[in-house]
Amino acid sequence: MSEHSANPSTATAASGRPRAVKAVIPAAGLATRFLPATKAVPKELLPVVDRPVLQYIVEEAAQAGIDDVLLITGRGKTSMVDHFDRRPDLEERLEKKPELLAAVRRSEELAAIYTVRQPEQLGLGHAVGYAESHVGDAPFAVLLGDEFVKQSEPLLPAMLELQARTGGVVLAFFEVDPAETKRYGIASVEPAEAELTDIGEIVKVTGMVEKPKPEDAPSNLAVLGRYVLPSRIFDAIRRTEPGSGGEIQLTDAMELLRKEGVPVHAIVYRGTRYDTGMPLGYLQTVVQIAAEREDLGSEFRKWLAEFVNSDAAGGSGT
Ligand code: UTP
């Protein structure tokens, strides 16, 4: 149970409203941008140095006080759950290797992991809909399974606080190069109410456009894969028709709530975000995290600098 929690499904913020204490990780998608690697291995299990992407995400939730995590899985994805299972046979073998043993145990102790299956991949909104019976009547966080933020620059705690104050939908944005807007969901915003600005750089969301051309983009604020949602979202998902790509989109369900008067705010995140959903972002993530590791960072950085300047990397050579 979360340390913030007085009962299993909610904790109360200063506003008197319940604070989200459960997280949902939708991870049932087909991961087409990472084929053929993801034919048999879920993208959430691709390793970043020595831990799968999914562990960084569960760590991000745990660091924010969330220790109840629902994984939405699909066909061929059950191995994700195994990563968080106990392995007494392995632990026994590692008795004389305390550091490895601690690393194995850590993945088992981060959070209570639950799963539900999305039988057909009909979109992110459709996937989140499967969390209803686990989440119940309380607000909850959604963390996409291929994106995470730097541990020392957390985002989720401020999002949880903001949601507990507004009771509405809370998103996170990051700034993109205006020429790149067609790769992202882009928001139109206005200044937030003054009483919310102590939490961080907060904006009020007035609309969202999927992948607009630069000339049509209302801003350069792109949607990051973190949401804190009120339980009313489930009803909105049920009322959402298939949208872009024939999928039931979470964005459309949130837009339905916004039009019905539910407040929608976002935090503008200025920390480091890692996007592992496609090969280039994944490679950048591995290099950044490896370079910062205490145990192997200095050796890796030295090798990387030499490699970048070598003929093998097409560099200038030294
Ligand atoms: P993406 O748009 O990244 O889709 O989904 P994807 O299938 O993971 O990857 P690409 O675009 O084909 O390469 C955003 C998140 O929503 C989940 C995905 O697992 C991902 O975490 N999702 C998407 C589902 O759980 N179910 C769906 O039906 C669709």
Of 35, 11, 33, nearest to 21 (Cα)? 11
Residue 53 has a pLDDT of: 97
CA 109 to centroid of ligand 1, rounded, Å: 27
Tokens of 74: 């699909």
Q: Cβ(144) to ligand 1 under 6 A?
A: yes
Give me the residues of the chain with pLDDT under 50, please.
1-9, 317-318
Residue 245 has a pLDDT of: 83
DSSP 73-105: E-TT-THHHHTTS--HHHHHHTTT-HHHHHHHH
Q: Cβ(138) to ligand 1 under 6 A?
A: no
Residue 3 has a pLDDT of: 36
Task: Answer yes or no: CATH 3.40.50.150 is held by domain 22-276.
Answer: no
Distance CA 157, CA 162 (A): 9
Which amino acid is it at 100? L
Phi first, then psi: what are they for 113, rounded to 5°? -105, 130
Of 170, 128, 100, nearest to 29 (Cα)? 128
CA 308 to centroid of ligand 1, rounded, Å: 33
CA 93 to centroid of ligand 1, rounded, Å: 37
Q: First and final CA of the chain: distance in angstroms?
A: 56
Q: Return all residues near 176 (Cβ < 8 A) that are at least 6 apart.
A: 183, 184, 220, 221, 222
3-state secondary structure 224-284: EEEEEECCCHHHHHHCCCCCHHHCCCHHHHHHHHHHCCCCEEEEECCCCEEECCCHHHHHH
Residue 7 has a pLDDT of: 42
Domain ranges of the chain: 22-276
DSSP 13-71: -TTSSEE---EEEE--S--GGGTTGGGTS-GGG-EETTEEHHHHHHHHHHHTT--EEEE
Residue 4 has a pLDDT of: 38
Residue 243 has a pLDDT of: 85
Q: Which mutation among 24, 25, 30, 252 tests ligand 1's pocket best, with the greatest number of atoms within 8 A of CB? A: 30
Q: Which mutation among 80, 124, 227, 280 tests ligand 1's pocket best, with the greatest number of atoms within 8 A of CB? A: 124
